[in-house]
Amino acid sequence: MNPTIHQFTVKDTKGNDISLEKYKGKVLLIVNTASKCGFTPQLKSMQKLYDEFKNEDFELLAFPSNDFGGQEPLEGEALEQFCMVNYEAEYPIFDKVHVKGRDVSELFDFLSDKTKNGQINSKPKWNFHKYLVDKNGQVVDYFLTITTPNSNKVKNRIRKLL
């Protein structure tokens, strides 16, 4: 059995520790986001996807990051408010993290490195890189920035895992 994301603890926008173990038994789409990116409108597509699957053991987790072009100037609860007010986001939005480089968060280091997750090698090359995690917490797929969250490609993979 490969390692899972359930071993990690992350921070919410209020600075509280959240164990990813709470998502055991759910299919997850984990996305690195930014509020000032050309792909920011994907936040609306993320909500549409969330609306479609939220009643079926699915969760979408957003992790803002300032790693690409300084496109995430917001901090703390302002991150959550931006997504809620502008894109009616109802999915969990976590505190800002690094998704690449020497300060990469433990979660994104795990998600992007096959030697750690046992499945895929895919480091984010830009904002809105997406990782698909099965109900057991194993990384099973990824989608590049240009793949919209509510595309048939993403939805079909989620359906197979549900």
Task: Judge contact between 57 and 96, C-beta under 8 A.
Answer: no
Q: Is 83 a catalytic residue?
A: no
pLDDT in tens, 89-134: 999 999 999 999 999 999 999 999 999 999 999 999 999 999 999 9
What is the model's pLDDT at position 112? 97
- Mean local confidence (pLDDT), 53-67: 96
37-46, 79-88, 135-144: segment of lowest average pLDDT:
79-88
CATH number at residue 32: 3.40.30.10
Phi, then psi, of 143 in degrees rounded to 5: -135, 135
- Which run of H or of E encompasses 58? strand 58-64
Tokens of 23: 């998502």
Quick count: other Cβ atoms within 10 Å of Cβ 102? 5
- For 161, the enclosing helix (H) or strand (E) is helix 152-161
User: Exactly one of 5, 30, 37, 93 is catalytic; which is it?
Assistant: 37
Q: DSSP letter at 14?
A: T
Q: Note the pTM of the prediction, 2 decimals.
A: 0.96
The model's confidence at residue 30, banded by pLDDT at 50, 70 and 90, is very high
pLDDT of residue 1: 62
Strands 27-33 and 130-133: antiparallel
- For 154, list phi and psi in degrees, rounded to 5: -70, -50
Cβ distance 137 to 159 under 8 Å?
no
- Residue 84 vs residue 25, higher pLDDT: 25
Q: Which domain holds residue 106?
A: 5-161
Find the Cα–Cα–Cα–Cα dihedral 46, 122, 101, 126, rounded to 10°: -40
Q: Is 59's pLDDT higher than 90?
A: yes
Number of domains in the chain: 1
- Residue 148's pLDDT is what? 96
